Amino acid sequence: MRLSVSTVFTASIAWLSTCIPSPAVTTDRRCVFLASPQNTEWIHRAGNISGSSQHCARTECCMGYFQLENQKPTPVLLSCSIIQTNCPNSSCHASVLHQNYIRCLCSSDFCNVNITFNQQAKQAEYTKPPYSSDLLSTKVLIIPAGALILFLSLVMALKWKILLQRCRPVTPSNPHDVLEVSSIDLDKHLELQKVVACGHFASVWQGTFQGSSVALKVFPTALRQEFAKEKDVYKLPLMMHSGIVRFLGHGKIGNDFVIVLELATQGSLNAFLSKTVCDWGCTLKLAQTLSQGLAYLHTDLKMNGVYKPAVAHCDLSSSNVLVRADGSCALCDFGCSTVLQWQRVQGYSIIVENRMQMGTLQYMSPEILEGCVNLSSGRCLLQGDVYSLGLLLWEMLMLCSDLSTGSPVPEHVLPYETELGRNPSLEALLTFVSEKRKRPIIPHLWARVSQGLLLQELLEDCWDHDADARLTAECAANRLAYLSLDV
Q: Which residues are catalytic?
A: 315
- Phi/psi at 7 (5° precision): -60, -35
Give the closest residue to 234 by CA, choosing from 247, 221, 224, 219.
247
3-state secondary structure 267-279: CEHHHHHHHCCEC
Phi, psi for 350 (deg, rounded to 5): -80, 125
Cα 310 to Cα 379: distance, rounded to the nearest angstrom: 10
E strand or H helix that includes residue 457: helix 452-462
Phi, psi of 62 (to 5 degrees): -100, 150
Rg of the chain (C-alpha set): 23
Interatomic CA distance for residues 382 and 295, integer angstroms: 10
Neighbours of 262 (CB within 10 A): 23
In contact, 288 and 329? CB cutoff 8 Å: no
Q: Is the dihedral of CA 182, 183, 187, 192 positive or negative?
A: positive
Number of H helices, E strands in the chain: 14, 22
Distances in whole angstroms, Cα of residue 95 to Cα of each of 111, 197, 440: 16, 24, 49
Q: Using CA atoms, how far apart are residues 131 and 28, in angstroms rounded to an integer?
A: 38
CA distances from 60 to 77, 107, 187, 357 (A): 17, 6, 36, 27
CB half-sphere exposure, 113, CA atoms < 13 A? 11
**Structural contact between residues 462 and 386, judged by C-beta atoms closer than 8 angstroms:** yes
Cβ 473 vs Cβ 294: under 8 Å: yes
Query: Cα torsion for 467, 473, 477, 479, to the nearest 10°?
Result: -30
HSE of 98, CA atoms in CB hemisphere, 13 A:
20
Detail the DSSP E strand segments found in 319-439: 321-323, 329-331, 338-343, 347-350
